[in-house]
Structures are given as C-alpha cells and as structure tokens.
Amino acid sequence: MLHAHTPRILKDTLQGSTLTITDITADAAHLEAFDHHEHVWHGRDEARELNAIVAIHNTALGPALGGTRMWPHESFEAALTDVLRLSRGMTYKAAVAGMHFGGGKAVIIGDAKKEKTPALLEAYAEMLAALSGQYYTAEDVGFTLADADFLRARTDNVTGTTLGGSGNPSSVTAHGVFLGLKAALRHRGVNALEGVTIAVQGLGSVGWTLCEKLYAEGAKLFVTDIDTARVEEACRSFHATSVAPGEILSAPADVFAPCALGGVLSAETIPSLHAGIVAGAANNQLARHEDARLLMERGILYAPDYVINAGGLLNVAAELSPGGYDRAATMEEVARIPETLTGIFQRAEADRRPTNDVAAEIADERIAAARTT
C-alpha cells in the first residue's frame, strides 16, 4: 500500500523556478463544496501561463488519486468549486470501490485547444513533483495520453500513461459504465438492451465507447454533444438520433446517460427528465447532493456517478500496485461494479433513501474504519 507523506511544500523544490505554490486551504473553506478538505494548493506561473489548483480531500485510505482536467472556467472561484467537488467525489469513488487511495483532483484554468503549451505542462510537472507522495494524477477532460506521458517523464506521480502499461483509461471507464447501466436495467426487470432507448449526453472518449457497446447489443440511441461533427458521425455509425444539447434530458428514452461535464441534474432540470434510469459516466452529475431525492420521488433510479464510473480509477490505480499493471486483474475489479450498484439499489429501496445517500454512507463507513486502524 502507498502511504501519503506529511502534506507540505519544500521551499528548495522551487528554487530557480518561476512557479509559486500557495496553500489556499483556509481561503477555500468558505465555499459550500469545501467539505473538510485537507489541503488545497494553488500553482501560479505567469511566465509559463499556468494557473492550476490541486485539491486533496481525504487521505485516510491512502494518498490522493485523481485526474487533471483543463477547462476555461469563467472565474477562479468557479474553478475552485469544480475541483473541490471533483476531489470529494474521488474520495467516495475510491472508498466505495475498496481502494487504498484517497481523493484528489486538479484543474488547470484555460482552453486546452488554444492555451496548452509545453511550457505550461513543464510548470505543471514541477507542481506535481512538489506534491509527490501526496497526490497522484492522470488525464481527464482537456488532457491526452500524450500529455500524461509528458508529465510522467518529468515526475513519478503520474499514472494512466504508456510508461505504466495501462494507457488511456477511457475505455475501461466506459466498460464499467456499460456494465453498470445493464445492472440498473436488470434491477428494473429488463434483461437485454435490444430495443432499449438510451439518451447519451457527451460523445468524448468515454461517451463514444459507451455508444459502441450499447449499439452492438441493440440499443437505440439519442445523442448530443457541443461538437456537431461528432454528433453527425455518431448518427452515421450508430444509426442514432441527433438531439439538441438543451433537449437531451427530455428525449423519449428509457435511460439517460450523462457523459459530459457535471451539474446537469438539478431542481430545475429534473422535472423535464423523461428517462426512468440515470446511468452515465460524468462526474458530479447532481448539481446538489440533495437532488437525488428529487429523482427518487419521481421514481427514477439513479446509479451514483462515482460508483458506476469507477473503472477508470481502478485502471490507473493498478499501475501503482507493487506488482505493476495487470490488465486481467483490473478488469475483474471493474466487473464487480454491477454487484456494488445492485447492493446500493437494494439497500436504498429497503430503507426508502436516495441511492447516493447509501453510497456515501458506505464510503464514510470505510473511511471511518481506516481511521481507527
């Protein structure tokens, strides 16, 4: 098992660099999303145009592990809120999956298509190196396998790379979501995908691979994405029906699979949701934790996002195991996602509670147990 170092930044780590790393934990504490984070670091390098936040939520089970995303947030506070929510989700994802890791996440503020440069990545690699032992990262939205390899060549706390043997975790994430979606359908008495209608929001690497799997087993797809060319390609490849981004929740589907950014399910949008099941890959699908109750009250079965999409985390974590990456063993772990979800569904129904409350309770129990051992 890996063990986290005492959280600190060594001054001599940054000698000769234009990068500054500041502990902004106290400054972040006023935000609703803070939730007792252990550390929040702000990395700034004006010369190399890096503006990054690393949030470490909880390391009771082990060092923090979570991806890095690059996104043009409209403000620093919006980026801070995003990274806090994501890192908390990683804590719960790792705990429910029975992993020996805690939750962390990183956000680089900027447009990955226009502002990601080798100099920026060099500066970010320095920040990661300063956090080595506290935080391990992998690619996320706005990052590529090549970016992960670039970082890994400069610091050892990067996973999901070709150097570690697992590569891009998107296909593993998609496989876990595919299995979890079928488990949700089985819980509702549907044992095959043939003729089932599924609305997929987001056609990135995970969403696309999920569509491939669903189409191969006879599902009928509604698709949307901000990339219209991607939507057109999906319509050709999967005989899918194109839906405008603002109308995907009300598409006449049996299952809604959010695979884009988070916050899509809220008190404002849930009333328009047509599907009876929500099962997708996006992180933080709920605008607020309490919104799961609104889904329950409407009779909608919600597969908690950090449970169903844990495949990618299981995959990159496997690179850090003492024996190195083992694909077969990793896929066996991913294959247990349906069993975990089914247990959550059953417990939620028996207790008449939202599924995400049950999932959070399981995570909290495991974290509490780790603290007493």
Tokens standing for 56?
Answer: 């470490």
Residue 14 has what pLDDT? 59
Residue 167 has what pLDDT? 87
Same topology between domain 11-152 and domain 170-309+338-365: yes
Residue 123 has what pLDDT? 97
Residue 207, marked binder: yes
Residue 74 has what pLDDT? 95
- Level-2 CATH architecture, domain 11-152: 3-Layer(aba) Sandwich (3.40)
Residue 132, marked binder: no
| pLDDT tens digit sequence for 61-86 | 999 999 999 999 999 999 999 999 99
Mean pLDDT, rounded, for 166-191: 96
Residue 10 has what pLDDT? 44
What is each CA distance from 248 to 201, 223, 229, 260, 275, in whole angstroms? 7, 8, 17, 12, 10
| Domain limits, the chain | 11-152, 170-309+338-365
Query: What H or E segment, with its residue span, contains residue 283?
Result: none
Residue 268 has what pLDDT? 97
| pLDDT tens digit sequence for 1-39 | 343 334 445 444 456 689 999 999 999 999 999 999 999
| pLDDT tens digit sequence for 301-358 | 999 999 999 999 999 999 998 888 999 999 999 999 999 999 999 999 999 999 999 9
What is the C-alpha to C-alpha distance for residues 198 and 275, in angstroms, rounded to an integer? 8
Kindly report the CA angle at 279 between 276 and 284, in degrees rounded to 5? 115
Indicate if the pLDDT at residue 373 is higher than 90. Answer: no
Residue 205, marked binder: yes
CATH class of 170-309+338-365: alpha beta
Q: Which residues are catalytic?
A: 105
Indicate if the pLDDT at residue 227 is higher than 60. Answer: yes
Mean pLDDT, rounded, for 191-217: 97
**3-state DSSP call for residue 75?**
coil
The predicted model scores a pTM of: 0.88
Residue 204, marked binder: yes
Residue 17 has what pLDDT? 86
Residue 168 has what pLDDT? 86
Cβ atoms < 10 Å from Cβ of 190: 17
Mean pLDDT, rounded, for 165-179: 93
Partnered with residue 136 across adjacent β-strands are 65
Residue 3 has what pLDDT? 39
Residue 16 has what pLDDT? 67
Radius of gyration of the chain (CA): 20
Residue 203, marked binder: yes
Cβ atoms < 10 Å from Cβ of 12: 6
What is the C-alpha to C-alpha distance for residues 241 and 222, in angstroms, rounded to an integer? 5
